[in-house]
Amino acid sequence: MKKLTNFIPFLSALVWLGAYLWLRDDPKNFLWVDLAMVIFCLLASWRISAKSKEKHWWNSAWLPMTTNLIALGYLVIISNQFLIDVMVIALIILNYVYWRFVYFYYNAPNRYTSFSLDNLSFYVNFLNVFLLGALAFGLRAFLQYNFWLILIGVSLTLALILYQGMWVSKVDWKKYGWYWSINLLILLEFFGVLGLLPLNHNLLGFLWASIYYLLLILFNDLMNHHFSHKRLWLYLSVVGGGWLILLLTASWL
């Protein structure tokens, strides 16, 4: 079993590639592909953390699970083959690297680099929010999916993304648990507002992800006692300036 555990990072890359090829050959199997990915991530998390007897072993499954499912959905709505190839290769590498970090964290602490999972999660979750927004706005624009069904899916996925970010950062839930619910509500409000704008789905996804980024760094400032009105206005100016540039240069439909 130990050899199998060592093999999980490499196996995760193969499973992702197999899931993509399965979906590419027959998009109708989307639900089965998603189910297979969920089962693999949960089993991998359980197996890797077994030695440490982690009670909440499923927590390490959330990042690869949400990332892989969102990426599979996004790949369905884009047609640029170069971008598809880049994403598939990037996800192969990401799955391997993530599970390698998790393996070291639970089974070889002396080989684990401090904050590896934290830093990786920070950047990957930003990408996840962008892809989730782009996917949701794209499904509504291209396939005319029901808004409320999309909102339910977005809410559940976003809740997992926010939870995973707090888990990997070892946030004190008794003290900062309110952050999860407030951020979720704020981001869902912006999701609804942005959906009214006649912009490209990728641009809308990026604008939404920028709000997630702003809330995240403000929360980190609050936890680390670095928060100040001056820093708040600085962050708001940077995000607001970025929005203004993007909106002025965007092609309105």
Q: How far apart are CA 147 and CA 151, in angstroms?
A: 6
CB-hemisphere CA count at 13 Å for 7? 7
Report the b/e string of 198-233 with b at 16+ CB within 10 A. Answer: ebbbbbbbbbbbbbbbbbbbbbeeeeeeeeeeeeee
Tell which residue, 247, 246, 243, has the closest CA to residue 235.
243
Q: How many CB atoms lie within 10 A of CB 130?
A: 22
Burial of 251 (0-12, 13-18, 19+ CB in 10 A): exposed
pLDDT tens figures, 134-143: 999 988 876 6
The mean pLDDT of 140-150, rounded to a whole number, is 79
Contact (Cβ atoms closer than 8 angstroms) between residue 55 and residue 67? no
Residue 38: what pLDDT? 94
pTM for this entry:
0.90
CB-hemisphere CA count at 13 Å for 137? 27
**Residue 12 pLDDT > 90:** yes
Where is mean pLDDT largest: 18-27, 150-159, 170-179? 150-159
Domain ranges of the chain: 1-109, 114-253
User: Is the model more confident about 175 or about 20?
Assistant: 20
Burial of 44 (0-12, 13-18, 19+ CB in 10 A): buried
Residue 13: what pLDDT? 94
Residue 103: what pLDDT? 92
| Largest separation between any pair of C-alpha atoms in the chain | 57
pLDDT tens figures, 32-63: 999 999 999 999 999 998 888 878 899 999 99
pLDDT tens figures, 165-223: 989 888 888 887 888 889 999 999 999 999 888 888 999 999 999 999 888 888 877 77
Q: How far apart are CA 42 and CA 119, in angstroms?
A: 22
pLDDT tens figures, 216-237: 888 877 776 666 767 777 777 8
Residue 216: what pLDDT? 86
pLDDT tens figures, 105-132: 998 888 888 778 988 999 999 999 999 9
Using a pLDDT cut of 70, give the percent of the chain over it: 94
Model confidence band, residue 251 (pLDDT cutoffs 50, 70, 90): low
Model confidence band, residue 5 (pLDDT cutoffs 50, 70, 90): confident
- The mean-pLDDT minimum among 3-17, 20-34, 137-151 falls in 137-151
Residue 253: what pLDDT? 47
Chain center to CA of 155 = 13
